[in-house]
Chains A and B, each alone.
Chain A
Amino acid sequence: MLVFVLRRIFQAVIVMLSVAFIAFMLFQYVGDPVTNILGQDATPEQRQQLRADLGLDQPFPVQFVRFVGKAVHGEFGLSLRQGRLVSSLIAERLPATLELSFTAALIALLVGIPMGVYAALRRGTFMSQVMMTCSLLGVSLPPFLIGILLILFFAVTLKWLPSFGRGEVVMFGHWSTGYLTVDGWRHLVMPSVTLAIFQLTLIMRLVRAEMLEVLRADYIKFARARGLPNRVVYFGHALKNTLVPVITITGLQLGALIAFAIVTESVFQWPGMGLLFIQAVTFADIPVMAAYLCLIALIFVVINLIVDLLYFVVDPRLRLERSGGGH
């Protein structure tokens, strides 16, 4: 077990380093922040000096090694755009993104699973056809379009919901939450729905397919033969077995939700990490971009690690094979 975990952690470190390395390779092409920092009245020497002071004149492997050296001490430097510590910028933004992603994941699960179950049980009915068609729309419409349409309808036309921002937040130490105010919830509705729609349709289609598969299994037939009521068969046996892959996918998708909140955040001016990243890209704010990419890689790696460990715990065969020395 310990060996397995250690091996996983070692792999995770390699992944993180690769992500950082590729990120630094790409930074060669995002341009030069110096003209953004210095403004139009600076002399060429001043620009050259700043470039040298920031280490931007170094080849990228050198910049990369320097970054890693500092990052292991938890230092990510100052944002070139805002002149503030990158670590505190990210810490400020993290709660917004996590709350948004978490709410979206919850919506996706709470709406997606019942819809999937319904579509599987009432296959062929009008309602389930409608659901399937809508889900196709949900998968194919890009989130920025959904976001803009929601804003047009609910903010501009109906004036029910606010179109941007996070609203009133309450501070718990360093954690800002919008969950405790009415205003915060009102601001959360449209962004979280926008972000949830893709996952929702994905989960719905997955649940439906799995459910149909499971309903054909022998133990369902036996359950029926035992004279169990439909409710128990569907929800006690079929759905339970359907949920194993759903939970796995949801876990992995949570990482995707956090990472791909960028689009939703920029449409709704949601003050999360994605927005921070977008703003950093437009300024070529390399320290912020590097820290963000590493953090996202870390989130993915940690979620994967947890999922792997869960397999390990859940599936005894895995344990046996490992301790037996493998195939």
Chain B
Amino acid sequence: MKQLERTLLSAALVMTCGVAQAVTLRVGDVGDVQSMDPHSLNESLQLSFDTNIYEPLVGRGKDMSVVPVLATKWSQTSSTVWRFELRKGVKFHDGTPFTADDVLFSFKRAADPGSDMRGYVAPLKDVRKVNDYAVDIETTAPFPILPDTLTVFGIMSKKWCEENKAERPVDRRKGIENTASFKANGTGPFRLKERQPSVRTVLVRNFNYWDKVETNIDEVVFTPIGNDSTRVAALLSGELDVMEPVPLQDVERVKSSGNYTVQQGPELRTIFLGMDQKRDELLSSSVKGKNPFKDKRVRQAFYQAIDEEAIKARVMRNAATPTAEMVGPGVRGFQPDMNKRLPYDVEAAKKLLADAGYPNGFEVGMNCPNDRYVNDGAICQAVAANLARINIKVNLSAETKNTYFPKILRRDTSFYLLGWTPSTADAHDSLYNLMATPTDKGQGTFNLGSYSNPKLDEVTAKIQVETDPTKRNEMIREAFKIHQDDIGHIPLHQQALAWAYGKNVTLTQLPTNYMYFKWITVKAPSN
């Protein structure tokens, strides 16, 4: 009935306004959202899209700050217990009121073996209901960045999931489909109207949304267009309002058409090189009986021989920000004053290499993905060409991510390129995954060259439990300093996002590459 009333009301509105028309935003993206299930896949496009339908307890503001969403406020009642007050009067799209039971249910669901959100709930010991509008979350150890980790996954309706037999995320191993993969019922500003995988996904405004939103969009039509040229053509022919990513070689063309804006903001992802510093002899190198990367002088020689400015200008067409740190601006713990790269200096590099006992250089194998990051294969080629100037012969093997990642995760590499976005937008994530000594407990999973410094491990462990922000920042500085002094990795740059949109569109681009439709407005074309 309500639905009918609303329809009539909006019909009446349309008639009175005369010219008012449903505002549709047509979005094109290189990939498709894989599932409507907010717990099924930890991938940025998926999370970005689903967050318009399903909301987390805690969200991100336009400046990446942590802001209340379904939780109105939170505080620590002890070092390991947090009290979250929940928003009252929120309804799911099917009209069910949102309560603490949905929160408890969603946390349980996110911890299911089929869920890809397990990493975020792993530090939690228990989630308890205090009353209908408050929950206590207990962590196994003090965990200062709990609110950050809660920004990632959405809250689902317990009732809806039970009715649709979607109490658990889809388990690809069991061969049974799950309603939540193609239907949705969240609390967000948009609800799902139509879902055709790889064809289009249509969202419509939730006019019962609990918050005032700035958008004037009634409908979002999301279309994946994998082919770069077609995606650009679709924008230029006026079939799309927003498109991402713009292939770097087409940025100028899109801009020069006059009708579109290309926004290139830095992404949180940092691209860097890693070196095997564990084995006593490299897997693929002309140097036998010892590992040249164990010598800091060799690592520094590599660092200084790479002309990152040229990579930025030529390979990345200026759509990159060179970096000296393993995290970029926008990540908590980024240190602006420490972001100074060692100078590009071929002579110094040659000298370092000679001092280390390799005056004639050596040969080394390098692994690189060619379909994962922006121009990843070309970056590696540029690095190889740079290193040739100091007589390092790089045997580059660039391959698809499907074969690349299994290989490097087996640590079957001597020298590799990787990109990393800390999913919590906090420096600890990068320290723990990329820089700390690998253990079988998950620490250092992507520290594929096994760089190891016990002092850094110690500080990283302390950062994890330190709740005082100032002290914590000091510790992060200390850890970064250790890593920079050791040249544990060679950071290259933060790649840029590239969104193109019509001049009649205003939007906010986040460094996480999340596209919040609630922040997009479309002006009627002035005919």
- Residues of A at the B interface (CB closer than 8 Å) are 29-47, 50, 53-54, 75, 77-85, 88-89, 92, 148, 151-152, 155-156, 159, 162-166, 266-269, 271, 275-276, 278-279, 282-284
Q: A37-B116, A89-B197, A148-B230 are in contact. List 18 more A-B contacts (CB 8 A).
A: A30-B402, A31-B402, A37-B172, A41-B42, A41-B119, A43-B441, A79-B172, A83-B40, A83-B172, A84-B197, A151-B229, A159-B237, A162-B237, A162-B239, A164-B231, A164-B239, A165-B199, A275-B226
Residue of A nearest to B403 (CB): A31
Distance from A210 Cβ to chain B, minimum over Cβ atoms (Å): 37
13 A-B contact pairs sorted by A residue (CB < 8 Å): A31-B400, A32-B406, A35-B405, A36-B405, A37-B41, A41-B119, A42-B118, A156-B237, A159-B237, A159-B238, A164-B239, A269-B227, A271-B198
Separation in Å of the B132 CB from the closest CB of chain A?
A: 32
Cα A275 to Cα B196 in complex, Å, equals: 14
**B433 is an interface residue with CB less than 8 A from chain A:** yes
Residues of A within 8 A of B116 (CB): 37-39, 42
Q: Which of B131-170 contact A (CB under 8 A)?
A: 170
Task: Name which of A34, A37, A88 has the most chain B CB atoms within 10 A of its CB.
Answer: A37
Q: Are B234 and A267 in contact (CB under 8 A)?
A: no
Instruction: List residues 157-215 of chain B with CB under 8 A from any CB of chain A.
Output: 170, 172-178, 181-182, 196-200
A279 in contact with B198 given A31-B403, A40-B433, A269-B223 (CB within 8 Å): yes
A33 to B371, CA, bound (A): 14
Do B34 and A32 have beta carbons less than 8 Å apart? no
Check A266–B227 contact: CB distance below 8 A: yes
Contacts of B238 in A (CB 8 A): 159
Q: Chain B: interface secondary structure? A: loop
Instruction: Note all chain A residues with C-beta closer than 8 A to B200.
Output: 165
Known contacts A83-B172, A164-B239; decide if A33 and B409 are in contact (CB<8 Å): no
- Residues of the A chain whose Cβ atoms lie less than 8 Å from the Cβ of B230: 148, 151, 163-164, 267-269
Chain A residues near B423 (CB, 8 Å)?
40-41
Q: Of B119, B170, B197, B226, which is within 8 A of A269 by CB?
A: B226
Top 6 A-B pairs ranked by shortest CB distance? A31-B402, A39-B42, A41-B119, A31-B403, A32-B406, A83-B170
Q: Shortest distance in angstroms between A165's beta carbon and chain B's nearest beta carbon?
A: 6
User: Given contacts A41-B120, A83-B34, A151-B230, are A164 and B223 in contact (CB under 8 A)?
Assistant: yes
Q: Mark B395-425, 1 if CB is under 8 A from A, else 0.
A: 0000011111110010000000000100100
Closest to B224 in A: A269
Say which residue of A41, A42, A43, A283 sits within 8 Å of B402 (CB atoms): A283
Chain A residues in 8 Å Cβ range of B400 = 31, 282
Contact residues in B for A83 (Cβ distance below 8 Å): 34-35, 37, 40, 170, 172, 177-178, 181
Q: Which of B119, B181, B236, B237 has the most CB of A within 10 A?
A: B237
- Is B445 an interface position by the 8 A CB rule? yes
Q: Which residues of A contact B409 (CB under 8 A)?
A: 35, 44, 47
Q: Give the Cβ gap from A93 to chain B, nearest Cβ, in Å.
A: 8
Chain B residue contacts of A152, Cβ below 8 A: 233
In the complex, A148 Cα to B227 Cα: how many Å?
Answer: 10
Q: Which B residue sits closest to A36, measured CB to CB?
A: B402
Q: Tally chain B residues at the interface, Cβ within 8 Å.
A: 58
Most buried by A among B41, B230, B446: B230
**B225 on the interface (CB 8 Å rule)?**
yes
Given that A81-B34, A82-B181 are known contacts, is A39 also in contact with B405, CB under 8 Å in the complex?
no
Q: Inside 8 A of B175's CB, which chain A residues have their CB?
A: 75, 77-78, 85
Given known A-B contacts A40-B420, A47-B409, A78 and B172 have beta carbons under 8 A apart? yes
Is B440 close to A, CB under 8 A? Answer: yes
For the complex, give the distance between the alpha carbons of A163 and B28 in Å: 12
Are B402 and A155 interface neighbours, CB within 8 A? no
Residues in B with CB closer than 8 Å to A29 are: 403
Which chain B residues lie closer than 8 Å to A282 at the CB level?
Answer: 371, 400, 402
A76 and chain B: residue at smallest CB distance: B175
Contacts of B197 in A (CB 8 A): 82, 84, 89, 92
| CB atoms of A275 and B198 under 8 A apart | yes
Taking CB atoms, residues of chain A closer than 8 Å to B404 are 31
In the bound complex, what is the Cα–Cα distance between A278 and B400 (angstroms)? Answer: 13
Q: How far does the Cβ of A46 sit from chain B's closest Cβ, in whole Å? A: 8
In the complex, what's the smallest C-beta–C-beta distance from B291 to chain A, in angstroms?
23
Pair B226/A279 contact, Cβ less than 8 Å = yes
Report yes or no: A80 in contact with B172, Cβ–Cβ below 8 A: yes
Cβ of A122 to closest chain B Cβ, rounded Å: 38
Query: How far is the CB of B446 from the nearest CB of chain A, in Å?
Result: 7
Residue of A nearest to B176 (CB): A78
Q: Which residues of B contact A35 (CB under 8 A)?
A: 401-402, 405-406, 409
| Least CB separation from A81: chain B residue | B34
Chain B residue contacts of A159, Cβ below 8 A: 237-238
What residues on B are CB-neighbors of A151 within 8 Å? 229-230, 233, 237
Are A32 and B172 touching (Cβ within 8 A)? no
Q: Which residues of B contact A84 (CB under 8 A)?
A: 177, 181-182, 197
Cα distance A81–B197 when bound, in Å? 11
Is B442 an interface position by the 8 A CB rule?
A: yes
Assembly CA distance A84 to B197 (angstroms): 10
User: B458 contacts the other chain (Cβ, under 8 Å)?
Assistant: no
Residues on A with beta carbons closer than 8 Å to the beta carbon of B234 = 155, 163-164
CA distance A152 to B442 in the complex (A): 49
With a CB–CB cut-off of 8 A, which chain A residues contact B37? 83
Residues of A within 8 A of B126 (CB): none
Confirm or deny: B295 has a beta carbon within 8 angstroms of a beta carbon on chain A.
no
A275 and B433 CA atoms in complex are apart in Å by 35
Docked pose: A323 CA to B123 CA in angstroms: 77
Contact of A163 among B120, B178, B196, B237 (CB under 8 A): B237
Contact with A along B238-270 (1 / 0, CB 8 A): 110000000000000000000000000000000
A151 to chain B, nearest CB (A): 5
CB neighbours (8 Å) of A43 from chain B are: 441-442, 445
